[in-house]
Amino acid sequence: MSAQPVMACVAVGANLGDAVATVRQALHQLAALPSTQLVRASSLYRSAPYEAQGPDFINAVALVQTQLSPLALLHALQAIELQSGRERPYKNAPRTLDLDVIFYGDVALDTPELAVPHPRWFERAFVLLPLAEIWPERVNPAQLAAVQDQAIQRITL
């Protein structure tokens, strides 16, 4: 565990099963992680698969304050994915749940297991739009303009 709490950003997505319920449940599970508090969660968004196949995704972004190390956070997220039935049959396969660490404070880390900031976060509307909603300081207009052709819609239920 790190000594001081760190603000981390987690992208949440699902496109198999009841994706809305799965994303909501994952947000609750993030809030229940040890030494972690859910600070803010975005609205839910529907987006077309990006560099992938299958049904539309339901996406959200969450900010958590955590004392877990970057790898401990990653492992906790992978455990949540497994609980939801996540399988990895091939790259970018449809999934019951996908949790990605986008930022971990100002830490820059690039290992075979984890890269933060996430190397492609700024290329994906399904990260940028929810992130702009809850942490607008992290997103600039040029980044939003670069993804404006990606199909994404905020959903209200």
Catalytic (active-site) positions: 86, 95, 98, 100
Give the three-class secondary structure for 121. helix
Long-range CB contacts for residues 104-109, cutoff 8 Å, separation at least 24: 104/6, 104/8, 104/9, 104/70, 104/73, 105/6, 105/7, 105/8, 107/6, 107/70, 109/70
Q: For residues 122 and 19, is the Cβ–Cβ distance under 8 A?
A: no
Name the E strands within 31-107.
36-41, 44-47, 57-66, 98-104
Q: How far apart are the first and last CA of the chain?
A: 37
| 117: preceding bond cis by omega (within 30 degrees) | yes
